Structure formats: structure tokens, C-alpha cells
Structure 1
Amino acid sequence: MRRAASVLAACVLLALAPAGCGSDNEGDSGAPGVVATGPASSVPATRVPGVSGNVPVNPTPRPRSGTVAVAALGDSITAGTPLYDPDPDVRKQIGDDLDERSQWEYWFTAAHPRYEIRNCGVNGERTDEIARRLQTCAAGAKVLVVQGGINDIAQGRSVEDAARNLRVMYAAGKKLGLDVYGVEVLPWNNGYPQAAPLVTRLNTLLRAAAKAEGVTVFPWYAALEDPENRGRMRAELTIEGNHPTVAGYKKLAEAMELP
């Protein structure tokens, strides 16, 4: 098992296609209910060979003097959907509704200005697709925050495979010398009730994977779950049943503590 994990980690570090990392299906990035136009950070988008679409990451990051560079790697929840996105083309599509507060990165840096967060969120990506961008996103960073998994569920993928991909990313980040952190998958109102046990199962598996790699996982699920409607986000904290409101993203930031 350890040898298999190290082989997968090496695969991520080489930025191979998903087929080389134990997945032989690309899948589309338009999972119903999970993929939406969204917002994220002010980092310019660039095109990375082998990855479709614009990747919101600066390949040669230059953090401000005295700041701690954090790479935030994930899907639309990292990007800040539906009111923000790190891709300037997506931000143009959002138009007048654009709101930079619609991302956990905004709230975290507002409360902790010594951090400079690079938003590498891409709407609709599964964990295997997110893994392909790890090395580029993490270049020059000290801290890596890994988020993902809901699109695997939305696209009918195995939660065991998703947890395995997350563990690979945890291990790969540590191999790069980064302080690595994970986050829980959020409740998915529009997928309820069918998706609820899958989300719970994936969170159990990813916490076990993180523990095995010595990685802290932030309690995002609990931060947004409705205590009176278990398995769903509180109504006031989700904008359309898939993604958090501005207040919801603030709650996610408050549930985090970086070194």
C-alpha cells in the first residue's frame, strides 16, 4: 500500500495525465449542480500544457516581502463560485454580480494579512484533474491547502478513488517540502438526500488519509451544516444549494488556522 501511494505521488509530481494516475476517463467538467460560474482571486490565469482551460496560477510567484505564500488548490469551492473566479474571463461573465468576498481566501487574508494566497480553484474539476495542477500551483509556496471531491461524487466516481487522489496530493505536497492542509467536503443541498451518505463517507476516508500522511483537515462540513437539517448546508449559508454565500465563505475561513 505504501509503495502504491509513493508511485501515485510520483505520478502527481510529474504532472502526468489522469490515465497515468489510475484514472482512464476524463469526464466532463460540467457536473450538474456543482459546476457554475464563480469567482476567486486576483491571480492572473495562465495556460498549462496538458490541462484544458485557463489555470488560475502564476508559474513564477513572487510573494510580497514578509508574507507566507499559500497555494489554494481545488475546485469551485476554492475558486469562489458563483460570485468570483481566479480566471479573468470568468469574472467578466459574472459581470455586476462579481464580489471578491465570495472566496474563503479573501476572508482569511483579511483576518491574517501576513498570508498571500494563490487561488488555484477551477470549477467542475474532479480530484484526479486537480492533482494534475498541484506542482504548478504550489511552485514557490510554503503552504498548500488541498480541497476537492464533490465533483467526483456528482460525476458518479468512486469516493474511494477520490480519497486516494486526495491522499496522493497530501503526500506530494509534503514531498515538495510544503506545510499541507486538507479540508472537508461540504454538504450538498442540491444532491440531497442521495449524495449525503457519499459526502459523509468521503469525509471519513479523507480524514483517515490525512491522518496517515500527518496532515490537518479543517472542519468545513461542520462549519456550514444545518444542525436541524443534517446533511445540508444552512439555508442562509448557501447561495443556490451548491456553493456558499459570501457569509458561508467567511465561515470556511474562520474554520482554518495556518502556521
Structure 2
Amino acid sequence: MKFKIIFSLILIATTNLYAQVVPDSLKHTPQVPVKENFADDWAALSKYKKENEELGLPKKGEKRVVFLGSSIFEFWKQKDPGFFAGRPYIDRGISGQISPQLLIRFRQDVIDLKPKAVIILAGSNDIAGNTGHVTNKSILDCIASMAELAKKHHIKVILCKYVPVYEYAWNKNIKDASEKIISLNKAIVAYAEKEHFTVVDYFTPLVDERNGQKAELTVDGVHPNLAGYKLMEVVTEVAIKQAFKNRY
């Protein structure tokens, strides 16, 4: 009996000593939040996911138009937010994206938003990437798939003649960029005419004598400045009105 009492006292003393020696940081280890891994989100669906949920469906009579593209569209809203404010225009541009990424995003960032029309600007980043696997056909295949999805969901299709580019400052290994853009634009226009889609011409208002962008309308030879976007806004409004008249 005496042995049991002595053992109990030793155990209590040891426990108290341990409690005094062990730092609080070890006794109460904080839970570190696990950072979500977006390695599988190649098309950056996460970028607009929350914004899309907050946006909701169009109001009755709203003629919503989604602008789907890369940096040209993403920077547009930054340069001239007033063009989008008060209009049913939804900017869904993501800098650096190529046409297959736009295709992956098409359901979430276009179809699910229930727009009346979509403006698809694609191809320049495919060319600028210099992967060696890009052709007009591969770009047009993605554009055609997006257009067919839009048509199936009763969304008017507006395709774009891409803005002129003489040279990509970040990848000067791309030779004859201007000729590649012109060739792509011809292919897009031919496809649009065949399918009776509307075309918005972003090339002609911005082009200079070298088939690049006019210096006074661009920040880097690829992306328009505010003055450039103002010209794009004029032809965009015309194209949207024309698209809503089309009866395909």
C-alpha cells in the first residue's frame, strides 16, 4: 500500500515537471492551414469562379455579352473600366492564355453566364509561344469548337481580326509575326463568312505601315493603350449590334 502511494506521488511530480519544462508552443501546436493546390488548373478556371457565382444570371431583358480572350481583353477593363461599367459586358480575359485554355474555360466563363453574345479573341499567344506545334488550323479548331458550343446554346458568335503585331518584345525569336497575324486573320474571316458569324475588326483601326500597331496607340507594340482601346470600343459596339441582327 505504502509503495502504491509513493509511486503515485512520483508520477504526479513527474507530470508537473514535464508541464513546466515543455514549451507552450509544443503543448498547443497551431493548425497550419493547408494551401490549396491548383497545379491541375491549367486553364485558370479558379480566376473567375467566385466572380461568376456572385454575378448570377442575367436580369430579364439583359443582353449580356462576354469578352473571352487573353491579355488584350484583361487589360481593356483595367485601362478603361468606364466602357464596361453600366453595360452588360462581362470581361473574361486572362493574360497569356492560348486558344486551348479558352476552350476549356468556355463552359464556365461563357455558357454558364447565359450571355446573348460572346466575343472570342484568340490566337496571338499561340503564335507568340513558339512551341513549334501551332498552326492556323490548330487555332481555328479551338475557335470552331467554341463557336459551335455557343451556337448550340443560342449565343451569338463574334469573332475577331486580331490586333496587329509587328514583333513580340518578350519573344523576338518569332519571325514575321505580322505576317502570321495577317494569315490568321484571313483564316478567321473565311471561317466566319462560311458560318455567317459576325467579325469585329481590331486590326484595321490600329495598324501602321509595317503591319504593326501605331506607336501612338500601343504601350508595347502588342497591347493597346487607352487611345487604342477607345478605337476598339467603336468597332465593338457596331459588331455587337450587327450580331444581334443575325438570324442564324
TM-score, with structure 2 as normaliser: 0.68
Tell me whether 1:161 sits opposite 2:153 in the alignment: no
Instruction: In structure 1, give the amino acid aligned to 2:68.
Output: L
Instruction: Pick the aligned partner of 1:224 from 193, 203, 206.
Output: 206
**Alpha-carbon deviations, 1:91-112, whole Å to 9, x = none?**
xxxxxxxx4x1x6xx43x46xx
Q: 1:221 & 1:136 partners in 2: Cα distance?
A: 28
Contact 2:72 2:223 in 1 (8 A): yes
Contact 1:164 1:209 in 2 (8 A): no
Q: Output aligned runs, 1:201-220, within 5 Å.
A: 201-220=183-202
Instruction: In structure 1, give the amino acid aligned to 2:200.
Output: F
Tell me whether 1:144 sits opposite 2:118 in the alignment: yes
Q: Output aligned runs, 1:16-165, within 5 Å.
A: 50-53=41-44, 54-56=46-48, 58-59=52-53, 61-64=56-59, 66-80=61-75, 84=78, 99=79, 101=80, 106-107=82-83, 109=84, 115-138=87-110, 139=112, 140-156=114-130, 157-165=134-142
Contact 2:166 2:210 in 1 (8 A): no
* More helix by percentage: 2
Contact 1:153 1:159 in 2 (8 A): no
Q: 2:150 & 2:41 partners in 1: Cα distance?
A: 20
Instruction: Between the two structures, name the one with larger relative contact order (CA 8 Å, sep ≥ 6).
Output: 1
SS at match of 1:136: helix
Structure 2, unpaired ranges of 5+: 1-37, 169-173
Q: 1:190 & 1:197 partners in 2: Cα distance?
A: 10
- Of stretches 249-258 and 191-200 in structure 1, the one that deviates more from structure 2 is 191-200
Instruction: In structure 1, give the amino acid aligned to 2:160.
Output: V
For residue 64 of structure 1, report the CA deviation from its aligned partner: 4.7
Q: 2:223 & 2:199 partners in 1: Cα distance?
A: 20
Contact 2:43 2:101 in 1 (8 A): no
For residue 159 of structure 1, report the CA deviation from its aligned partner: 2.2
**Pairwise CA RMSD:** 2.3
Q: 1:52 & 1:131 partners in 2: Cα distance?
A: 9
Tell me whether 1:186 sits opposite 2:163 in the alignment: yes
State the structure with more CA Rg. 2
Q: 2:57 & 2:153 partners in 1: Cα distance?
A: 18
Structure 1, unpaired ranges of 5+: 1-46, 85-98
Contact 1:145 1:183 in 2 (8 A): yes
For residue 187 of structure 1, report the CA deviation from its aligned partner: 0.9
